[in-house]
Structure 1
């Protein structure tokens, strides 16, 4: 086993929390513009107030897309000699509860597997939970697969 793989394996099963990030209406509006998804529950606070959500909520895909940023803000093992990392996909994604505009979220990631596919080419799977401050249920749970090269 390579030294790098051993360093990563030692981190298996350890949960890493990101910093908190506020998902405000301006962020939601920018995402709506970028994806052309202007459903009123996301961008119309007045109309959204009359829904079961009681106000606007973030797009599930916005929360999911913030994972790259949130993961950079965790205490997970960093590989200084990594050249590039890429998303490989998700084995499972569930949008469990809404993220209301103005809420703070953070990711909790736990490395569940890592392997060296070829010399210098690694694949890892992380169990991800996106928590909403003050909410019991997470916003998102996922199994995220990434690859990286050193």
Structure 2
């Protein structure tokens, strides 16, 4: 779709991703990559004694899944794209922990799509990352991406 066609969908949910498992292996790899080895993420025995009842994914791991979830979704792709970059976020709330082995997916609602300069579009989406079988989502954020066409 052209950026203008996507912009016309402002206020609509424009995509849903596939479900993806947050395995203990993925959690451990993220702990190694970031140096965040807090026991609630990697020590299954100690984590069993917490209110979570087991290990949980890092909130930032869940947030960092946005590019993967977006790529594996039905969200409209921008026609003629040369490059896309993460620009940042306006709001991020970690609402519910993702337990190891649970599956997550994202729902993406278009909040804004504005041409900032000729060929440079700024997209703001409200992204809700759901946890399969749970009422409360893992997180809700407003995420901004810059597209160059």
| TM-score, with length taken from structure 2 | 0.96
Determine the structure 1 residue equivalent to 2:123: 124
How far apart, CA to CA, are the structure 1 residues paired with 2:4 and 2:143? 20
| Gap runs ≥5 in structure 1 | none
Contact 2:111 2:126 in 1 (8 A): yes
Determine the structure 2 residue equivalent to 1:78: 77
Q: How does 1:1-150 map to 2 (within 5 A)?
A: 4-15=2-13, 16-150=15-149
Deviation of 1:6 (Å)? 2.3
Deviation of 1:75 (Å)? 1.3
| TM-score, with length taken from structure 1 | 0.95
Contact 1:11 1:77 in 2 (8 A): no
**More displaced 10-residue stretch of structure 1: 5-14 or 114-123:** 5-14
The CA deviation string for residues 73-122 of structure 1, in whole angstroms up to 9 with x for no partner, is 12111123101100110000000000000000001011110100111000
Deviation of 1:4 (Å)? 2.9
| Gap runs ≥5 in structure 2 | none
Cα-Cα RMSD: 1.1
Runs of at least 4 residues off by over 2 Å: 3-6, 10-14
Contact 1:44 1:56 in 2 (8 A): yes
How far apart, CA to CA, are the structure 2 residues paired with 1:105 and 1:114? 26
Deviation of 1:5 (Å)? 3.4
Deviation of 1:8 (Å)? 1.1
Q: Secondary structure at the match of 1:141?
A: strand
Q: Secondary structure at the match of 1:88?
A: strand
